Structure 1
């Protein structure tokens, strides 16, 4: 790999076809957590997870590995466990000595990448982007509804986060349905033909571009640094407006209630005239959300109101509010055998992996008020 500006360019190109591959595209948040964890005496990450029960072990691992961007409250909890300032967990990726390859080395298994599979992952991501661009009806919601491909997996495929062989059978079958192809051989041939025709050229640079990755990472770290300095600055606009319209809410710990029903079990964050009492432990950005429909079954009637806390990440056994494209979705939270958090909905029937979602889209539910 070529060197440039004090850090590696991180792009490999095949001699034939010029298919770019950013080998470090999965690392979106390089940080100092591993270094600070060792300095604080937490040799094993599992030991640290026991000290911070609010953050599930799997998510804690993903934060340390730079695979997800944490929320400011998560960084504060981690920093408190280390006895340091939260900003000490952030890296300056523009520093002359920073090298993403050197930083990532502890998190790699040492196995040389299969460049053919890496290239196919990039081409498949480009082909999927081209497919969606060519058909405006293929919205994120329509793809999940018609082809069984959840938004989190759709995003990961379009960004070549995993090679095709590492996806499970349900995802591979959903892709075949989406491209209307019979098998993997046809899919690979179809993608290769699209690439040969030049139809994917305009999409490749957005998938395997270390400069864009570096810029996005820089922006996210800068936003975190600002949020850590001004913790209330990232309050969602609809919630700010609703709080402002609720006189006396702060003094009596009443919070505004949002919510009108949308299709497919979603809840619009429309302000109402209602207010609800929040528990003492709820954070300053907590708000009420009317359930609207019994999407989680009869145990949580549609007339109920839940208290949503954007500053609290959900845990297995609890409830979560997931911010989607058009509104909020209420989910019960469980974990699979590997400890990954899954959100469940009864009506409609959904299973949504939560660990790979943007943490800013997920909020814990800290109370429920029944009619």
Structure 2
């Protein structure tokens, strides 16, 4: 009975419901105090920071660069350091901070625990074979370094990886199917060889340590910045408005299909064209939050086939007579990758024919 109790104790993995929040901050509060009740209003003042990235910064899901903090602070009229939050302040409660501005995805403890075990098993697999380098894993198993890192850090549950990634993991572990991989991983866990890595990934302590270090790093980077808050242009120095012109309008397309696709079917509606829209630009109704909360289903985006998407922007990928919206990022080798949250997709974009990919240059929110 004592052995069984010890095994049960060992099998429990503490799941941190806030593990995605790595940068709690004061941006939401200072934005509202600064006269921007909606994040979109602030985003329009800072076009060099894509809306989706700005939203993730505010929600604490990504660490901003120092120059981004300076730019945001400048628009809000505060010092960059004012955006930083002290997580060691006795009055700070991450649960209350999250609840004040967003909803987290419900956590399936069993699935999350397996993700941690699999992350540890993958690290163990690599460390056990010195020849199994990151480059070799990409070349032989088709797992890009950015995906490898996300699996090894249990960024999401196993069921949320796309079929290609799951198939590559099965080959890497030499497992016949998902059940075999699960059995293999549980066996390694029971042997105790995963314990060290599991401790690094379990509970709130790893997240807190990472957050503390990153915020300290940002404070150090901002230490030489001016302590006086940047000021907005006073009214008398405001730039003159451009001459008025006839507003161009664009047809709105978009009928929801399965698998997150949008049919390029006219809706009969029109949308104002941004001044930088090319001659082939069109509007696309989003309908569903396929990219997460940052781009709600009520939004309409402006797609310009003559503009190639940039990093942390949004791409519109043609698939036949339909379009898929993807958040754009790069792996550490510079390869462009597109992500979708609902459904969960990770697609390489560098090999897509140029005529099948377009940049999203603006978004309107109803």
Instruction: Rate the CA distance shift 1:182–1:46 in 2: closer, same or farther, 3 A.
Output: farther
SS in 1 for 2:11: coil
The answer for unaligned runs of 5 or more in structure 1 is 1-13, 232-315, 321-331, 356-371
1:319 is displaced (CA, Å) by 7.3
Question: In the alignment, which residue of structure 2 is the partner of 1:335?
Answer: 315
Let me know the Cα RMSD of the aligned residues: 3.1
Q: Provide the rounded CA distance (Å) in 1 between the counterparts of 2:314 and 2:103.
A: 29
8 A Cα contact 1:32 1:91, kept in partner: yes
Matches within 5 A, 1:260-271: none
Counterpart among 73, 86, 93 of residue 99 in structure 1: 93
Q: Please name the residue that 1:149 is paired with.
A: 143
CA contact (8 A) 1:317 1:333 kept: no
Deviates more, 1:43-52 or 1:24-33: 43-52
Q: Is the contact between residue 87 and residue 225 of structure 1 (CA under 8 Å) also seen in structure 2?
A: yes
After TM superposition, the structure 1 = structure 2 runs for residues 186-197 of structure 1, keeping only pairs within 5 Å, are: 186-197=180-191
1:228: Cα distance to partner?
A: 1.2
The 1-side partners of 2:112 and 2:223 are apart by 39
Maintained 8 Å contact 1:334/1:342: no
What's the TM-score, normalizing by structure 2?
A: 0.60
Counterparts of residues 1-371 of structure 1 (less than 5 Å):
17-106=11-100, 109=103, 112-230=106-224, 317=308, 335=315, 337-343=324-330, 350-352=335-337
Asked whether the 8 Å contact 1:343–1:354 carries over to 2, the reply is no
Displacement, 1:112? Answer: 3.8
Higher alpha-carbon deviation: 138-147 or 114-123: 138-147
Residue ranges of structure 2 left out of the alignment (5+ in a row): 1-7, 226-306, 317-323, 341-366
Q: Secondary structure at the match of 1:341?
A: strand
Please state whether the residue corresponding to 1:142 is helix, strand or coil: helix
SS at match of 1:335: strand
Structure number with greater Rg is 2
Q: Provide the C-alpha distance between the structure 2 equivalents of 1:181 and 1:42, rounded to a whole number of angstroms.
A: 52
1:360 corresponding residue in structure 2: none
Say whether the 8 Å CA contact 2:310–2:328 is kept in structure 1. Answer: no
1-side partners of 2:70 and 2:326: how far apart?
Answer: 23
What is the CA-CA distance between 1:144 and the residue it aligns to? Answer: 1.8
Aligned-partner Cα distance in 2 for 1:69–1:202: 26
Q: In structure 2, how many angstroms separate the alpha carbons of the residues matched to 1:93 and 1:176? A: 39
Q: 1:204-255, CA deviations, whole angstroms, 9 ceiling, x for partnerless residues?
A: 1111142232122111111111111236xxxxxxxxxxxxxxxxxxxxxxxx
Q: Give SS of 1:75's match.
A: helix
- Contact 1:344–1:350 (Cα < 8 Å) also in 2: yes
SS of 1:193's partner is helix
